[in-house]
Amino acid sequence: MTAPSLPSEKGAEVGRRIGVGLMYGLFKPRVLGSWKVPASGPVIFAVNHSHNIDGPMVMGVAPRPTHFLIKKEAFIGPLDPFLLGIGQVKVDRSGADRGAITQALDVLSAGGVLGIFPEGTRGEGDFAALRAGLAYFAVRSGAPIVPVAVLGSSERPGRLIKALPPLRTRIDVVFGDPFEAGDGSGRRTRKVLDEATERIQKQLTSHLENARRLTGR
């Protein structure tokens, strides 16, 4: 079996530029705390998820190109080569997708930025329930996690396109302080990962509360 290739960093930069044009052209992003994102080295963005534009929004406003883990169901028709071309990672959520895991770890090993929706799917966007994947990638790679809160994307549907927020809606994206998820031992036992998940959830929930205070949402 052919080993999965490293997602393209140049492709992710192209995706970032496309995101800049679309997100700033259609909406009114307000970005807070982007200076907190480390300028180099591996980073994991942990993003809340309440609307399907959350990923493109973060891609467009983040200071570095981002490779998101995206469910395979989104890779349909022309979106398949497009998403792969801009460095995104296709994930089969029906089981442990070893190819996607390898690609994600390779992104971090190469010093890139990996974007994850730790809730696993769209929901309330409140970080109330996290899957274990984020803790695994953080502990395995040693990469710091930067919490990212996207607020305002799901407040009301657009008039012209119901699947999008209203045009020129203000959407806030708040980047938090980087933090380490592991306990420093380097171990990846179930106990260590469970403790890391609990630690991550506290940090993400705290960041979301702070982001809501800062933005008044």
pLDDT, tens digit, for every residue of 44-93? 999 998 888 999 999 999 999 999 999 999 999 999 999 999 999 999 88
Q: Model confidence at 153, in pLDDT bands (50, 70, 90)?
A: confident
Q: Are 58 and 92 in contact (CB under 8 A)?
A: no
Q: Which long-range contacts (CB under 8 A, 24 or more apart) does 140-144 make?
A: 140/105, 140/188, 141/42, 141/44, 141/105, 141/108, 141/109, 142/42, 142/180, 142/182, 143/41, 143/42, 143/43, 143/44, 143/108, 143/114, 144/38, 144/42, 144/43, 144/44, 144/178, 144/179, 144/180
Name the range with the highest mean pLDDT among 59-63, 98-102, 157-161. 59-63
Residue-averaged pLDDT of the chain: 89
**What pLDDT shows up at residue 205?**
94
Threshold 0.85, pTM exceeds: yes
Indicate if the pLDDT at residue 106 is higher than 60.
Answer: yes
Mean of pLDDT values over 85-106? 90
Residue % of the chain over a pLDDT of 90: 70
What structural domains and CATH numbers belong to the chain?
9-215 (3.40.1130.10)
Higher pLDDT, 32 or 190: 32
Higher pLDDT, 185 or 167: 167
